[in-house]
Amino acid sequence: MNLQGKIAIVTGGASGIGFASAKVLLQKGATVAICDVNAARIEQAVATLAEVGTVRGFAVDISKKEQIQGMVDSLLAEFSKIDILVNNAGITKDAQFYKMTEEQFDQVVNVNLKGTYLFSKAVISSMIEQKYGKIIHLSSVSAFNGNFGQTNYAATKAAIIGMTRVMGKELGKYGINVNSIAPGSIMTDMYSAVPEEAKQKKLALIPLRRYGDPEEVGNLVAFLASDEAAYITAQTIVIDGGFN
């Protein structure tokens, strides 16, 4: 999985799966640009990742088209290309359906789904021009099993799987691979905040009897971003210890 000379973007790259994915891509030789809505977290993440390789950081709200375009334009001006896009950024606003507000629904759709659309649109012209690109969307096993209280989240993650299929079919003729990853219970800071009792119940349902590590997802990201995965497109790969 040699990514020397490749330019990658990882959204939501300041923490969790995004940070781990950025780190693995750097270890494989890529230059990586990360973004996050929180400028302070980006600054801290860049300082850490800079010890591994060449990294750039941007404060971006991925529901805002102009902020995305500003980041993409800056990278194209500096590096003249973008080879890899990892659409990882996402949020949750959980509530049972009958209690879920329109605002909660819209916030999750605007970040998780529309943000994925907007970022993909921002990079696609340059990928088509160079006839090469790797786009990796982060879905979730919630798209299949529908976690309680996550009507909005599950809907966006299921929609991303549909987007992956269509984008992969449409963009293959331009040498662009589009795939998605559906993680299960990965031990990020977000997941570690789940009550211990709930975590133990979930653990009992995972055949491998452990939670996933963010870098395990990062390794899968790096594989799909590499030329070793050149004949894989329009697919969703589940990484969940056998839970789904």
Domain ranges of the chain: 7-239
Quote the mean pLDDT of the chain.
96
The one catalytic residue in 98, 117, 132, 153 is: 153
Block residue for tokens 């890899």 = 84
Question: Quick count: other Cβ atoms within 10 Å of Cβ 196?
Answer: 8
pLDDT of residue 144: 96
Task: Please tell me whether residue 178 adopts helix, strand or coil conformation.
Answer: strand
Q: What's the fold here for domain 7-239?
A: Rossmann fold (3.40.50)
Q: Which residues of the chain have pLDDT under 70?
A: none
Sequence-distant (6+) residues with CB within 8 A of 197 are none
Q: Is residue 89 within 8 Å of 130, Cβ to Cβ? A: no
pLDDT of residue 147: 87
Triad 127, 171, 174: Cα angle to 5°: 55
pLDDT of residue 166: 98
> Model pTM greater than 0.75?
yes
* Beta-bridge mates of residue 95: 150
Q: Hey, what are 50's tokens? A: 């800079």
Q: Give the separation between CA 12 and CA 214, rounded to whole angstroms.
A: 13
Active-site residue 153, yes or no?
A: yes
Q: Give the separation between CA 122 and CA 214, rounded to whole angstroms.
A: 27
pLDDT of residue 89: 97
